[in-house]
Amino acid sequence: LLAGCVGVPDAEQMRDIRAEAAGRRLDDLSQKTTTESGVYLSGPLLLWEAVALAHGNNRSLQQDEQGREIARGRVQASYSEALPSLGLTGSYLRLDEERGATTADGAYYTTRFQDQYGAGLKLTQPLFNGRIGAALRAAKLYDEWTAAAIRAAVESVQRETIRAYYAAVLSEHLLDVNQRALETAERQLENAQARRRQGMASNYDELRAQVEVSNFRAQVLQARNDKDMAYTALYRLMGASPESAAELVDEVPLVAEEISFADAARTALERRADLAVAEYALRMQRESVAVAKSRYLPEVSGYASQNWANPDPHDSSRADWGDEWQAGVQVSLPLFDGLDRRGTLIQERAKLRQLEIGLRDAEDQAVSEIRQLVLSLKTAEEFANSQSQNLETAREALRLVESGLKEGQNTPVEVMDARQALTTASANYYQSIFTHAMARVALQQAMGLMSPDVLPDAPVLRPDVDSNGEMP
């Protein structure tokens, strides 16, 4: 009882423990080197490098990877249903009194000694119990289920890493767009002030230019904050230090590709990790039903034991160590257990039906998701193309208005409106490229084609994957 209370920190002690941990963590974060808090990054960073770092350092994946050890332990534990067991026992017994008897000639001898000692070894080998095969199959299925679950987690982290990388690239472009717009607006303000001093511009023109500068300055601040948040999210996914100073090299790609719904759906139904997880779970539950049924069968085991005892097990009146051995076969068959077996079997069969329905539902969801993503990808491609044309139109409009201003055909307000339109068009263009790239990444994951060597700059349906979703 006392041992259970020793070493348990109370609330105040726990605060001290956490304070010490916080001090260590903050000290790590303040250093621009690789520490327990993460890998310090500086210099150019490619997308595939970011994905590789996430695979190796992401905390969530590190937790999920421990599932492999759990599965390995479960496989080893399942062997206990088939392998023999060996046990060692020992005992000491102190009786209240020693007993004896007297022979016909008056001699006294002991029939029960007050102190009795014993030790033994027993080897038991299961011969039949109905659970052996099911337990071994269930353990191997669990191993495969774990591998599929880890693959799903890896795909999810890879998708989030790619999204975070491209979001950081997008934030760089948006910040650059707004900074250039701010610089142009500031020059326009200086020009408006100079023209007003010369009597060539009104007070409204100057005030309008000041408002334009303030608006763009606010957008720059927001874009800078968005960039910081995007980099922070990327560093966390990669398990990198938040003080890192990486320079993202890869641009967000625009890869046009025709993907038919039939090919995408077939590939998804064959390759998706979540469907493999559901399939393995269903097969494991079938083994659970088999285990529940086995409780109606007899259990047969053979055993052999070797015992040592004092007094001698063959002569209880002899105060000395002796030994004996036994060997035999044990058979047990429960006749009535209060309906426990029946209730358990009903539960396991119901769970099996649940998983069968769940697998079908997961397949339906996969098909529905593929249909939506194929349509979304097509829409995103059309939107990206339209925004590319819109950007060129906005640039040409600004050029014409600026030329018209010099010739006295346009006003400064019209120039500011055209510049704002160009800024919006530039932001929409970069956002459309990002949306298209993420639609392709989402489709890759939904089709079960997400892997470390598959990045968004390559086609979703690669040449090494045929229409049946199989590798050559």
Pairing mode of beta strands 42-45, 245-248: parallel
Residue-wise burial string across 198-224, b where 16 or more C-beta atoms lie within 10 A, e elsewhere: eeebeeebbebbeebbebbbebbeebe
Q: Give pLDDT tens digits for 113-139.
A: 889 999 999 999 999 888 888 888 988
Outline where DSSP puts E strands in 226-332: 245-248, 299-310, 322-332
**For position 37, what pLDDT does the model report?**
53
The confidence score (pLDDT) of residue 111 equals 82
Residues 6+ positions from 131 with CB-CB distance below 8 Å:
81, 291, 294
Q: Count the neighbouring beta carbons within 10 Å of the beta carbon of residue 160.
A: 18
Q: Give the chain's domains with CATH numbers.
A: 47-83+129-298+336-446 (1.20.1600.10), 93-128+304-332 (no CATH)
| Lookup: tokens for 111 | 């029939």
Half-sphere exposure of 3 (CA within 13 A, CB side): 0
132-197 and 273-294 are packed helices; what angle lies between their axes, rounded to 10 degrees? 150
pLDDT of residue 192: 83
Of 175, 182, 178, the residue nearest 229 (C-alpha): 175
pTM score, two decimals? 0.79
Q: In 3D, which of 54, 51, 49 has the Cα closest to residue 38?
A: 54
Ranges in the chain, pLDDT < 70: 1-6, 24-26, 28-38, 454, 457-472
